[in-house]
């Protein structure tokens, strides 16, 4: 049975490895979030906003031309059609309601591709709360449209200028800020990473993805379970949501597409399960890329959302026990897959999602297998990268 224990561990991975100054924040969350989220009042507000504000349920779309090309029945779970353009808003809606009920007045967040930043800025505008988003300086340059969206929504965007100037460094800055402002501030972590209860909490808010998939497949295929579910994994929130209701259904294969960057052995990669070892990153024990003396190795991916040196502890556990199948997709192949989907189905995916599309070329499956790919975000934010790469 795959589930988190009372200490926040999935098998060997998880927990809360945090400085003493963060204990009050984490304990407040741990002591209150379960009862708040389970309350009828919370669920009514959460479900109403998911329906009327986010636009759920998102469609499960049969990709007929893609299916013909790959010789399987391929469905796309259209999280790209969520308000703000990605799955991230499912989590930010849940956490902003939680923060409000905890009496918080100020929100901080980290972002890589900018989608979580936009989703956080969006819900802060909705609820009238102060919002500061930390974003790597490099990511600010390559995800400019999302930076402008955050500013229009009223958020302050603070560049992280240390290290690789990407998601890892933005997370470091956000955590430092939270330590300095523990009483009135809630940190909306965007992925299934960080100290307990964040990984489980974010996965729970994202589980609406696989919850919908089950009844949508029942309508379309006469069965709740696909043969395979494929999702890209950086920290892994979209994958956690897509896998959630299938963790303990072994006949459903769970395929996670990581970013191999310029190649596994290039020194410019983010293929955590290939290159990583167990260690502590951002408050939890997981698998991460690190040197022999425990220094984090800088990751690389053409997609800002997968440019992270670790994976969430639930994914580390899935990998460790062999429940999840992990493939490492190089930049070039991801870009080609993004163009393929654009020209086959008329859907321009986020480059993160394009890694999951290419995974079809790296795994074996039977003819007419039912495959669901979680289309985690749309490619509006990546148009400049697509244009530069393809010379369009």
Q: Which residues are catalytic?
A: 88, 110, 376
> Which of 382, 378, 348 minimizes the C-alpha distance to 79?
378
Within 8 A by CB and 6+ apart from 334, the residues are: 259, 302, 303, 351, 354, 355, 357, 358
Residue with tokens 């501030």: 185
- Residues linked to residue 377 through DSSP beta bridges, in sequence order: 86
Secondary structure class of 66 (helix, strand, coil): helix
- Please give the Cα distance from 269 to 363 (Å, whole number): 20
DSSP state of 84: T
Q: Pairing state of beta strands 253-261 and 9-10?
A: unpaired
DSSP state of 104: -
- Residues linked to residue 232 through DSSP beta bridges, in sequence order: 257
Residue 250's Cβ-side half-sphere holds a number of Cα atoms within 13 Å equal to 5
């Amino acid at each position: 049975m795959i589930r988190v224990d009372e200490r926040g561990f999935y098998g060997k991975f998880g927990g809360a490895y945090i400085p003493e100054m963060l204990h009050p924040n984490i304990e407040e969350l741990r002591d209150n979030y379960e009862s708040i989220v389970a309350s009828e009042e919370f669920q009514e507000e959460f479900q109403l906003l998911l329906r009327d504000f986010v636009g759920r349920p998102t469609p499960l779309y049969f990709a007929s031309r893609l299916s013909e090309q790959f010789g399987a029945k391929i469905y796309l779970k259209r999280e790209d059609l969520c308000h703000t353009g990605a799955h991230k808003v499912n989590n930010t809606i849940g956490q902003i309601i939680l923060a409000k009920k905890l009496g918080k007045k100020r929100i901080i967040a980290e972002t890589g591709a900018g989608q979580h930043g936009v989703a956080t800025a969006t819900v802060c505008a909705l609820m009238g709360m102060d919002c500061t988003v930390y974003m790597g300086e490099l990511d600010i340059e390559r995800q400019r449209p999302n930076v402008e969206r955050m500013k229009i929504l009223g958020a302050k965007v603070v560049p992280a200028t240390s290290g690789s100037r990407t998601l890892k460094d933005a997370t470091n800055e956000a955590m430092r800020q939270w330590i300095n402002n523990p009483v009135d501030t809630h940190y909306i972590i965007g992925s299934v990473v960080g100290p307990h209860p964040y990984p489980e909490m974010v996965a729970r808010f994202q589980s609406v993805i696989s919850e919908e998939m089950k009844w949508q497949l029942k309508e379309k295929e006469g069965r709740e379970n696909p043969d395979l579910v494929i999702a890209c994994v950086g920290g892994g929130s979209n994958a956690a949501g897509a896998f959630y209701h299938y963790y303990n259904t072994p006949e459903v294969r769970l395929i996670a597409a990581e970013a191999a960057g310029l190649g596994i052995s290039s020194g410019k990669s983010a293929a955590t399960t290939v290159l990583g070892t167990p260690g502590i990153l951002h408050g939890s024990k997981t698998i991460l890329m690190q040197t022999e003396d425990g220094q984090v190795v800088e990751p690389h991916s053409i997609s800002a959302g997968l440019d992270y040196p670790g994976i969430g502890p639930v994914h580390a556990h899935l990998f460790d026990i062999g429940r999840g199948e992990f493939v490492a997709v190089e930049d070039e192949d991801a870009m080609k897959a993004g163009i393929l989907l654009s020209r086959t189905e008329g859907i321009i995916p986020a480059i993160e999602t394009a890694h999951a599309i290419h995974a079809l070329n790296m795994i074996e499956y039977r003819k007419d297998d039912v495959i669901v790919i979680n289309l985690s975000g749309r490619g509006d934010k990546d148009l400049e990268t697509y244009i530069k790469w393809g010379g369009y």
